[in-house]
Structures are given as structure tokens and as C-alpha cells.
């Protein structure tokens, strides 16, 4: 039994936008960065707090490694320290559980440029 639809109607605009996102279209990336700044302003959080909250979100969501690279760089740029980031991971550990905690820790290490311990 297959779970894939046999035929899906996809409009040209949807196909084109998905293709541009797949290729990392610079105009779409720029628009996303503008939206990011707009959302940060709307949150009324300072840049450091905003970056740490977003880091907590990607940890909770078990985001892919590139999300960590991006968000850790943003957090460092906003004045967060590696100790702050570890503090975020510790603070959310009871909510995200052991599996996500142990998945997030190495992603955070790699994004900080650290070498993973033997056996990781």
C-alpha cells in the first residue's frame, strides 16, 4: 500500500517558489531576514533574549543542524555566550525530555565549533 498520492495538482507559482527555496534564492533569503527583524521588533525582546528564545525553539523542535549553525551565530552576534546557550538547554530540558536534550547537545557543540566527545 502506497501513501503517496498518484497525481497532485501543483500550480506554477507553488512549484516556482518551492524551487527557489530549494536553491536558496537570495531575494527570498533577504525577504526572510527582513521579516525576522520585523518579528523581533514586534516581540519587544532585546536581540539577545530573542536569539536565545529562538534557540530554545529549535532545540524543542529537534531542528536540523543548519538551524543550529544559523541560530547560534545569530545569538553570538546578539551578545549571548556559550554559557547562556547551555543555560537555555538546561532550562528547557524538563519540557523537551531526554531524547531531544541529548540530540540538541551535540548540535550545539558543533555549532559552537567544538569537537564532539569520543563515542558521540
Query: Within a domain: residue 91?
Result: yes
Q: Which domain covers residue 27, as residue numbers? A: 13-44
d(CA 31, CA 111): 24
Same domain, 50 and 83: yes
Looking up cell 556559550 gives 82
Same domain, 93 and 60: yes
Looking up cell 512549484 gives 15
What's the mean pLDDT in 16-30? 75
Query: Within a domain: residue 75?
Result: yes
Query: Within a domain: residue 8?
Result: no
Same domain, 57 and 100: yes
CA distances from 35 to 28, 30, 31, 40, 92 (A): 10, 9, 6, 9, 26
pLDDT for residue 76? 97
Looking up cell 541529548 gives 102
pTM score, two decimals? 0.72
Same domain, 18 and 75: no
Packing angle, helices 47-61 and 65-77, rounded to 10: 170
Q: pLDDT-based confidence at 22, cuts 50/70/90?
A: confident
pLDDT for residue 30? 72
Query: Within a domain: residue 94?
Result: yes
Query: Within a domain: residue 22?
Result: yes
CA distances from 73 to 14, 38, 45, 51 (A): 31, 19, 18, 9
Kindly state the percentage of the chain with pLDDT values over 90: 60
List pLDDT tens digits, range 39-80: 888 888 999 999 999 999 999 999 999 999 999 999 999 999
In 1-120, where does DSSP find H-type helix? Answer: 12-22, 26-43, 47-61, 65-77, 82-111
How many independent structural domains does the chain possess? 2
pLDDT for residue 2? 55
Amino acid at each position: 500500500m502506497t501513501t503517496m498520492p498518484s497525481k497532485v495538482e501543483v500550480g506554477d507559482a507553488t512549484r516556482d517558489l518551492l524551487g527557489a527555496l530549494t536553491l536558496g534564492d537570495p531575494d527570498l533569503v533577504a525577504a526572510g531576514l527582513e521579516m525576522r527583524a520585523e518579528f523581533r521588533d514586534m516581540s519587544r525582546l532585546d536581540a539577545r533574549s530573542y536569539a536565545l528564545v529562538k534557540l530554545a525553539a529549535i532545540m524543542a523542535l529537534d531542528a536540523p543542524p543548519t538551524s543550529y549553525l544559523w541560530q547560534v551565530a545569530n545569538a553570538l552576534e546578539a551578545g549571548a555566550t556559550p554559557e547562556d546557550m547551555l543555560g537555555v538547554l538546561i532550562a528547557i530540558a524538563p519540557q523537551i525530555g531526554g531524547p531531544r536534550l541529548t540530540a540538541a547537545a551535540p548540535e550545539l557543540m558543533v555549532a559552537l565549533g567544538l569537537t564532539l566527545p569520543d563515542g558521540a
